[in-house]
Chains A and B, each alone.
Chain A
Amino acid sequence: MKTDSEIYIHSSPGLRSLCQRFQDMTTLDLLELGPARGCNIEFWSRFSNSIFVADLRASLPLPPLEEELEYPESEWHRILDLPAGRYFDIILAWDLMNYIEAAALPGFINHLNRYCKQGTILFTMLIDQPQMPEDSCVFRIIDEENLGYETSGSSLRSCPRLQPRVLENTMQGFRTSDRYRLRHGIIEYLFYYIR
């Protein structure tokens, strides 16, 4: 159990926008790609009675591939085993895209496509800094406008600094809805899915 983690609170216009879109909804189906956190489950329970927690963070970094240049989508079925025939309204990817190798991102997005429907919103963040924490952050929803970034340890690694255009081109099936560049080096994205 980690004991040396700290939480930093930042405003999140992406979260605010997401909440505004769904404020009148009570039957959302939500996919949380990050780890389970009680405060987040409590927050989302206002909008949704059904939340699937996939905790992809526990599977990162991805095991290296020996020969293939791209991560096959079939690998994603194993890594991210989601319920067949389910279509989510919201997908929370947090900062995980920064921790997935660029070669693996297209397969990841194609895999997610199977669980999207017209209008599915995917919330993600790019880190635009030379360095980023060694491990992906755990995010805690403080309220509709603020997120807590929970870091474990102080070690850093180089950041892939995925460019917005590269990310947007990678998001097969999705279109950019909102993009917010924040002062602390994060770009928040809301993508929506077009069938």
Chain B
Amino acid sequence: MWKKSESEPLSQSSSSDSQSTGYFAAQEPESQSGDRSVIGSSISIKGEISGDENLLIEGEIEGKIVFHNHNVTIGQKGRIKADIHGKTIAIDGNLEGNLFATEQLIIRQTGIVHGNIVSPRVVLEDGCNFKGNIDMSPKEKASPPLPLISSDDTDADIL
């Protein structure tokens, strides 16, 4: 069954790598410089981190990472035991925890992830190591908030 004559071999970099194109194409998180903070490889943090700018983590973090409207990247040296909330989350390092990305989740070739993913778009690059659940249902899609009381219905009961 392994004879080349019986089938057509493809190289790893062939066009059959559909995850590198189209809808599931890996998009670089925005703002790779400038408005991005970096937690360096010698830094170790226990607790919750939150902020309003993009974040690159090369250090060690245990706890929770909340950057709802920004991108979070775990660099190759990053070692994380935490849930992460972000817009686009990219993993190059090692993570144990759950990932909640409102736009896109990327696990790169060197990424090792044990945990669950909730994201409308998921990109798993060849060579990555992932164990857990992938939930791509659009639960987190923002819907316009309903007015509690409409202007022409001000005496309606509010339940």
Q: What residues of chain A have their CB less than 8 Å away from a CB belonging to chain B?
A: 1-3, 5-10, 35-39, 41-42, 45, 49-55, 58, 83, 127, 129, 133, 140, 142, 148-149, 151, 183-186
Contacts and interface: CB of A to CB of B under 8 A. Distances in A.
Contact of B128 (A36, A51, A133): A36
Interface residues of B, number: 36
B136 A45 contact: yes
A49 B107 CA distance: 18
Contacts of B2: 8, 133, 149, 151
Contacts of B147: none
A38 B133 contact: no
B8 A8 contact: yes
B44 to A, nearest CB: 27
A50 B18 contact: no
A41 B134 contact: yes
A5 B19 contact: no
B28 interface: no
B136 A142 contact: no
A53 B131 contact: yes
B158 interface: no
B137 A39 contact: no
B134 A53 contact: yes
B7 to A, nearest CB: 4
Contacts of A38: 17-19, 24, 122-126
B18 A42 contact: yes
B159 interface: no
A58 B128 CA distance: 12
Contacts of A2: 127
B109 A1 contact: yes
Contacts of B9: 6-8
